[in-house]
Amino acid sequence: MNLTQWITSIMEQLGYFGIALLMFLDNIFPPIPSEIIMPSAGYTASQGQLLLVGVVIAGCIGSLIAAALLYWVGYTFNHERIFRFVDRYGKFLFLKSSDVKKSLDWFEQYGHRIVFFGRMIPAVRSLISIPAGMSHMPFWKFMFYSSLGTTIWTTFLASVGFYFGENQILMQQIFSQASYIILSLLAIFLLWLAYRRYRHKRKSF
């Protein structure tokens, strides 16, 4: 049984709870990708077994619970304990301490709004919650940005599966184009922040 078949069987047995569980695991364990989970759930909804809105809500709930848990880990434990834990057990989660350090530097450099984009980028969404907690970002603000990004991404993935689930080649093309668009928007956002900082420095002289 391959990964897609396993994901489909979980959803068939557990329904909405299975979708929430799988999306929770997606944020904790990156090798289980939302790019398979939500389109598969959307396709199941197109067959009349589930409601599309229920699929989206279940996916968002699972993702946000995981995000809140990882935020709590980053907020509660000091930096040394987190890096020591990642060094010891990160290999089981396909996570390196250098990845956490890089995401923390990225978070501190570009601010809280990076959480919004991070929820739509593979691998990053599993990392961004920890540095948000480590930086003691206000929880309500973290959940606000996380909810926005998660809702957009989850709705998009489920809708693609709902409308194009029988055409795997077209789905892959859509995902490829969407990834380029998201990364382009992120690049524009980072350039805009850099420009604002540049202007601010010039005014301070």
**Is 60 exceeded by the pLDDT of residue 93?**
yes
- Specify the pLDDT at position 156: 87
Confidence of residue 55 (pLDDT cuts 50, 70, 90): very high
Closest C-alpha among 71, 58, 52, 57 to residue 21: 58
Residues 149-205 have pLDDT tens digits of 899 889 988 888 888 766 666 556 655 555 555 556 556 655 655 666 666 666 655
Q: Is the dihedral of CA 62, 67, 68, 72 positive or negative?
A: positive
What's this model's pTM, rounded to 2 decimal places?
0.76
User: If you ran DSSP here, which 8-state letter would residue 166 be given?
Assistant: T
Residue ranges per structural domain of the chain: 3-167
Give 41-75 as a 3 state SS string. HHHHHHCCCCCHHHHHHHHHHHHHHHHHHHHHHHH
- Residue 197 backbone dihedrals phi, psi, to 5 degrees: -65, -40
Closest C-alpha among 7, 65, 64 to residue 32: 7
Closest C-alpha among 130, 120, 179 to residue 150: 120
Distance of alpha carbon 87 from the chain centroid? 22
